[in-house]
Amino acid sequence: MNATDTLDIQITKVEHSRLSETSFENLVFGKIFTDHMFCADYEDGEWKNFQILPYGELPLSPAISALHYGQAFFEGLKAYNFPNGKVGIFRPDKNAERSNKSAERLSMPHLPEDIFVQAIAALVDIDRAWIPSKPNHALYIRPFMFATDPALGVQPSKTYKFMVLTSPVGPFFAKPLKVKIETDFSRACEGGFGYAKAAGNYAGSLLPAREAAKQGYDQLIWTDSKEHAYIEELGAANIMFIIEGKLVTPSTRDTILKGITRDSVIQLAKSWNIPVEERRISVSEVVEGIESGRVTEAFGVGTAATIIPIAEIGYNEKLYKLNESSPREFSNRMNKALNDIRSGLTEDQFGWNYII
C-alpha cells in the first residue's frame, strides 16, 4: 500500500506544540494526546467537513443519542517509526473494513475505507514527531464514530461524527498475565454484537473485570454465554494457545472480535509451517491440558496488548500455572517477528505497513 493524498482536509495547526513539554517516560496507556485530532461529520446522508484541528474539547448537546442509546464504536491501531525515517501504520485497511462491520451492526453509516485510511495517514503525518522510538512503544491511533442527533427517540441517529485521536504509548501490560476464566458474567451472546467494536461491549465488561481484579486477576477470559464451557477471548485481546506444538485459537463467531493481530499471527505462523487450528476450545481442554503438559503456552494478541503471555489461569477456585519450566518459545518468536515487521526492521513480506 502507498499513501495517496486525495482527501480534501481543512487543516488548522496548533500555534504551540505541547511536545517539548511532554514526558515520554513511563507512558500510561491513552493518557497523553498529540497536538491534533481528525474530525468529520455525517449529515444529509454524506460525510463532509473533513478537518484536522488542535486536540481539544467538543461542543455537544447533552441529548446526543450516543450518550443515551450507545450508538458508538471505536477502532485501535498503531503507527511506528522506521529506522529510515519513514512511518508505518499497521494494516489500517483492516481496521477500516472492521469499522464498517461495527457501523452496520449498530445502524450507523459506512465510512468509505479510503477516507478512513487517508484521515489517519494525514493525522499521523502532522503529528509524526510524537511517535515514540523506544522498543515496545508506538503511536496508538483511536478512530471512533458516534451518533450526534440531539433527540431522545429510540431510532438510528441521522447525524454522526467520525474522529481520530492519537496517543504515544508504551506496553499496555507490564508483565505476563494472571487471568480468570469467567463463568458467571457474559461479554457477548449469540445474535448480539460481540463481533463489533461497540463502546457498550466495553462498558459491560467493566464490572466483571473489577470483580476479578479484586481477586488479583489482570484480565478475564470470556467464555460462551450459553454454557460457559468454551473459551472466547480476553477483555482487550484475542486468545491463543500452543497445544502439542500447534497454534490453536477460538474460531471467530458473532460473539468474538475478529482481531487484526490474530489474523497477522495466524498468517505468520502458517508461513513458518506451524499447524494452525481455528476451532472451538473447551475450558476443560485448556485446564486439563495445562495440567498434563499438552498446553505449553497461552497468550493474548491485540493491538494495545501486542503479544502478551498468560502466566496463570484461575478456574473454579484453582490456579493453573503455565511455563513454569518451558520457555515461551512461540510467543517470544512471534512478538519479535511482528515487532520487526511493524517497525520496519525486516521485510514486510505481506505488505501490511502503510508507509508515510
Residues 38 to 77 in contact with ligand PLP, rule: CB under 6 A: 76
State how far the Cα of 220 lies from the Cα of 267, in Å rounded to an integer.
26
Q: Which among ligand PLP, ligand COI, none contacts residue 249 (Cβ within 5 to 8 A by kind)?
A: none
Between 148 and 303, whose beta carbon lies closer to ligand COI?
303
Between 102 and 323, whose beta carbon lies closer to ligand COI?
102
List the one residue from 303, 323, 335, 353 that touches ligand COI (CB under 6 A).
Answer: 303
List the one residue from 111, 122, 236, 295 that touches ligand COI (CB under 6 A).
Answer: 236
- Contact between 310 and 299 (Cβ < 8 Å): yes
Q: Which among ligand PLP, ligand COI, none contacts residue 233 (Cβ within 5 to 8 A by kind)?
A: ligand PLP
Residues 6+ apart with CB under 8 A from 316: 183
Instruction: Find the shortest distance in angstroms from Cβ 234 to ligand PLP.
Output: 7
Residue at 120: amino acid letter:
I
Strand bridging mode 160-169 / 36-43? antiparallel
Binding mask 183-222 for ligand PLP (x = CB under 6 A): ----------------------------------------
Position 302 contacts ligand COI (CB under 6 A): yes
What b/e readout covers 2-41, taking b as 16+ CB neighbours within 10 angstroms? eeeeebebeeeebeebeeeeeeeeebeeeebbbbbbbbbb
The three cell numbers of residue 22 are 511532554
* Chain centroid offset of residue 340 CA: 19
Residue in the structure block whose three cell numbers are 477516507? 115
Residue in the structure block whose three cell numbers are 473454579? 316
Between 65 and 238, whose beta carbon lies closer to ligand PLP?
238
Give residues in contact with ligand PLP (CB under 6 A).
76, 233, 236-238, 257, 259-262, 302-303
Give residues in contact with ligand COI (CB under 6 A).
76, 236, 302-304
